[in-house]
């Protein structure tokens, strides 16, 4: 399926993505206990972590994040093709 020179690259990419996934899980857990200072990020405004996603989705910030992450994946994946 892939030629031999790309296997080390794919192994490194898998390790990189697993580290990113682990950081995402830690972030989801930590945001239930710690918030950034300010009224917009207080526990009264956003009591649960899942509500943060829904609020940011309505504001449009998640769309920009999706755009930049997708662009990053395209640039990284060019050597594999």
Helix, strand, or coil (residue 34): coil
Query: Does the global pTM surpass 0.85?
Result: no
With beta carbons less than 8 A apart as the criterion, state whether 2 and 73 touch: no
CA distance 10 to 45: 42
Q: What's residue 10's pLDDT? A: 78
Going residue by residue through the chain (81 aa), what tens digit of pLDDT does each one get?
A: 556 777 787 788 788 888 888 888 887 777 777 767 767 666 676 667 777 777 777 876 778 888 888 888 788 766 665
pLDDT at residue 79 in the model? 64
Give the pLDDT score at 18. 85
- Return the residue matching tokens 């755009």: 67
């Amino acid at each position: 399926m892939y030629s031999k020179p790309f296997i080390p690259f794919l192994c490194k990419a898998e390790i990189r993505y697993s580290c990113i996934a682990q950081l995402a899980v830690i972030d989801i857990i930590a945001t239930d206990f710690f918030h950034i200072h300010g009224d917009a990020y207080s526990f009264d405004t956003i009591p649960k972590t899942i509500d943060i996603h829904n609020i940011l989705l309505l504001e449009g910030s998640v769309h920009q994040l999706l755009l930049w992450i997708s662009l990053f994946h395209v640039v990284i994946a060019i050597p594999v093709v």
